[in-house]
Amino acid sequence: MFPPQKHGYSGRSSSAFFRLAEVIGKSNEPTQTQFSILQRAYESTAEHLAESTSFKDQFEEIHAHGSRQLGTLVRPRDEGRDGFDVDLIARLPHSAYYLYSDTGGPSRLLMNLFQALQSYADKHQLQIRKWERCVTLEYASGMTADIAPVIDAPQHATAYGDTHALIPDRDQRAFHSTNPRGYAKWFDQVAAISPIFTLVERSISAMDSVYSSTEIAPLPDAQEVFQRMLCRLVQMVKLHRNEFFFGKKDAPSSTFITTLAALAYEDQARIPHETPLDLLLDIVHSLPLYFSREPVGHRLEEWRLDNPSTSRDNLASGMNTPAHQAAFWVWHAQLVGDIKDLVISIEDRAGFDILHKKIQRVFGDRAARAIQQNQLEHRNTERKAGTVTLLTASAVPMTIGSKSHNFFGKP
């Protein structure tokens, strides 16, 4: 286990950094309207599959998985799109395996799914594409959905085995272990671990006497602040990955880096840290410790990261080329350096313009716009209320009166 480090940054910097992370994370979440569109889209798709000839008697449900299910969704890097890329599972009962267990079964299952969805795509004028493990629908709203067929194959003797399933691989002509529902359950259990912050506790005690003499916004409930910490961390790592690898190949998959972050959080959250920022920095530093590396020949390593919900699924299989492995080390070093650079700017009170440019470089244009918009809305709200919010040394927002002005220009 990676031992906790004392990074020496103030509680004020930790608070400010996580406020930035919250704004950036929320800017990547679907609006309620987009959620409704997404829900209607896959409910409609599920109804179509249930009535199709191929799946009429062999279909259970369509459900979301991946980042949509985990709460780690980020918008596409492409600024020309306003939609989301989501992963969906078309779930079949265990009895369906006997229809597709022959050598050609995996390819036939994918073809049946493609043909069933082709009529749906034609009816709604959607684009459709077929891949080795899924079928992609491109909805008019800008959303794309990768729909993978899986067959229930419970393994009751193993952890999360009650939701174990099989996914077809057209190119390998075989079924592989998968467990998207089990993975989501594991991730939720890890995310529910309450981290221990010693400086936060001291700050709360120190502020008790201040409330009686100064109007200070009350601290939010600790559970409210930290319950989505892992999700926000994963979002930030994925956004940095997207920026770093934009226009390049060899990026680590979202599943790979999400699992690394969750495993690191599972260990580090149980160890006392002074601030959330100390925890985040230790997690980011320790990511490479959570996959195994075995030499293969002179220049290559075989990386392995077992799926926490099914041990027969190596989540690092896509990293086993020299190019992918070399790119990972360069990216990870950049990730650590960029986060430290942002924190130093906050610690040194470098100013909003400098911080804004760094956020744009590290997390992208959309993140920078979200921070800028949040800053503008915050100032407008304060101006209307006749207040100005100052950040105290303990990172607690303090509200004071603001003089009115008439700087509206000449008539």
Q: Break the chain into its structural domains and give their ranges.
A: 11-29+193-401, 34-183
Could you tell me which of 257, 402, 233 has the C-alpha nearest to residue 316?
A: 257
Task: Indicate if the pLDDT at residue 193 is higher than 80.
Answer: yes
- Which residue in this structure is represented by tokens 């939720």? 188
Mean pLDDT is lowest, of 59-68, 159-168, 205-214, for 205-214
pLDDT grade for 215, boundaries at 50, 70 and 90: very low
- Determine the Cα angle at 88 with ends 86 and 91, to 5°: 175
Percent of the chain with pLDDT strictly greater than 70: 83
Give dist(CA 318, CA 327) in Å, integer: 13
Q: What single-letter amino acid sits at 96?
A: A
The pLDDT tens digits of the residues spanning 227-261 come to 478 999 999 999 999 999 998 889 999 999 999 99
How many other CB atoms are there within 10 angstroms of residue 136's CB atom?
16
* Token representation of residue 281: 């920095």
What is the model's pLDDT at position 4? 64
Distance, in Å, from the CA atom of 334 to the CA atom of 340, rounded to the nearest integer, reads 10
Selection from 188, 181, 147 nearest residue 164 by Cα: 181
The letter for the amino acid at 365 is D
Q: How far apart are CA 186 and CA 311, in angstroms?
A: 13
Fold of 34-183: Beta Polymerase; domain 2 (3.30.460)
Which carries the bigger pLDDT value, residue 216 or residue 179? 179
Q: Which residue has the tokens 């149980």?
A: 270
Q: How far apart are CA 208 and CA 201, in angstroms?
A: 11
180-214 in b/e form (b: 16+ CB < 10 A) is: bbbbbbbbeebbebebebebbeebeeebeeeeeee
* Residue 11 scores a pLDDT above 50: yes
pLDDT band at 71 (very low <50, low <70, confident <90, very high): confident
Question: 116, 54 in Cβ contact below 8 A?
Answer: yes
* Residue for token pair 């795509």: 121
Q: Which value, in Å, is the radius of gyration of the alpha carbons in the chain?
A: 24
Structure tokens belonging to residue 32 = 């309620």
Q: Where do the DSSP E strands lie in 35-179?
A: 61-65, 85-92, 127-130, 135-138, 144-152, 165-169, 174-178
